[in-house]
Amino acid sequence: MAEKKRVKYFIVDAFAESAFKGNPAAVCFLDDDNERDDAWLQSLAAEFNLSETCFLTPIIGDFPRFRLRWFTPVAEVDLCGHATLASAHVLFSTGLIDSETVEFDTLSGALTAKHLKIDDEIELDFPVVPTFEVNYIDDDLSLFSKALNGAAIVDVKATKKDILVVLSSWEAVIDLKPRLDEISKCPCEGMMVTASASAGSTFDFCSRYFAPRFGINEDPVTGSAHCALAHYWSLKMNKCDFFAYQVLSLHRYT
């Protein structure tokens, strides 16, 4: 049996202007000569041990189109913002495609990335993730409170897979010392914690995202979470354009 071709990959710090900041993702390229099974893809993601490792496979057609899959160190996920941005950056910046637009075929449907040459920026077209009411029992609400170390909870919403918890203030989100072991017990894949910005702030809201069950204690920047956060805050603030801030603390866990 012929040896399979080596997999070419890039490590990209997304949502950052310099190295070693933002949210890192591994962008790996597959084709017919080096297609691998799911177990191999998951093993590679575990070895990279980044919040996301993604795999691009070209789809033959009239315009640039790729199959895109995302893996945390422990599981495949349906949607990931920063790894999609990282993939688009690699394609545009290395000249691998001769186009200012690329389409990704994903578990969340077709996603489009556009290269805006004037500002050298990338625009992503992502789906809205609706948030909705859930009638949690008292035990669930007690678990949420315990997971957030007794922080005052103002509101709780859900998506199909995540929980969105609203705290009383921007400062409460920043100073939060979550209990990751308790978050792992909550009935969700990940937990968004958010609050509106203080009066006079240039931001509209802030957030943090925890998914210890998926090998991500805290994600530095979570594009997919903002698909739900934008929906929630649009209903609260009656607007559609937001300037959001995601907090990251590496030393506030209990």
Residue type at position 106: T
Helices (H), ranges, 148-240: 170-175, 180-183, 223-237
DSSP codes joined into one string, 79-116: --HHHHHHHHHHHHHTTSSSSSEEEEEETTEEEEEEEE
Rg (CA), the chain: 19
Surface-to-core class of residue 34, CB atoms within 10 Å of its CB (0-12 exposed, 13-18 middle, 19+ buried)? middle
Token code pair at residue 104: 């990704």
Q: How far apart are CA 72 and CA 161, in angstroms?
A: 15
- CA distances to 13, 142, 143 from 103, in Å: 21, 43, 40
Token code pair at residue 17: 């202007």
52 is catalytic: yes
Secondary structure (3-state) at 224: helix
Instruction: Out of 52, 103, 189, 218, pick the active-site residue.
Output: 52
Q: How far apart are CA 231 and CA 228, in angstroms?
A: 5
Supply the residues annotated as catalytic.
52
